[in-house]
Amino acid sequence: MKERNALRIIQRDKLILALDTQLKRAIQDDENFSVIACVAQGLPDENFDDIISVAEVCLRAALRDNDRSGRLDRSTIIMGLPGTSLHEAKSLASRLIGDFSLRAAHLRPISWRTGITTFPQDGVRVQALIDAAIEAAQDARMNYSRKGLSQAWLATLPSAPSRPTSD
């Protein structure tokens, strides 16, 4: 299996490792690192392959060479954005959702929800950042585009300490 397909989208089995490597580099360089989760909304058994394919084309045009993205499950795309602040990630997420919806309109109407987490504010472990971004996307009350992630909720995640720790 190729590490990336023709659209520079990392296959699911390599995504977590690639994001973990990027996060470690961000910690070492004391830089921001943001994770965006884009979740297509639909029926429980709906097949999103065609919609995700359209989203992958949009990502190819929008992401930088050092950004990484991949399909996490049937309806979720995750992006790792090194050197990207929360404000920059929110702007990118907004543009992407517009592109996804516009380019897929000929297939069927679809809505997307996004969740964004940023190192170091939201955690120091990549899985915690991904989980929190997905939770934010699935729960409109915690979606960054509306109210932001609650610090109390983030503190309940066992793998998301509020400050970097040295292991």
Residue-wise pLDDT for 138-158, tens only, equals 875 444 433 344 444 444 444
Indicate whether 21 belongs to any domain: yes
Could you tell me if residue 85 is inside a domain?
yes
Q: Which domain holds residue 133?
A: 12-151
Number of domains, the chain? 1
Residue 160 in domain: no
Residue 2 lies in a domain: no
28-51 burial code (b ≥16 CB/10 A, e <16): eeeebbbbbbbbbebeeeeebeeb
Asked if the structure places residue 38 within a domain, the reply is yes
Query: The whole model's pTM is what?
Result: 0.77
For residue 10, name the pLDDT band (cuts at 50, 70, 90).
low
Buried b (16+ CB within 10 A) or exposed e, 12-25: eeebbebbeebbee
pLDDT one-digit tens code per residue, 46-95: 888 898 888 988 998 999 999 999 998 888 999 999 999 999 999 999 99
Domain with residue 66: its CATH number is 3.30.70.270
Contacts of 109 (CB under 8 A, 6+ apart): none
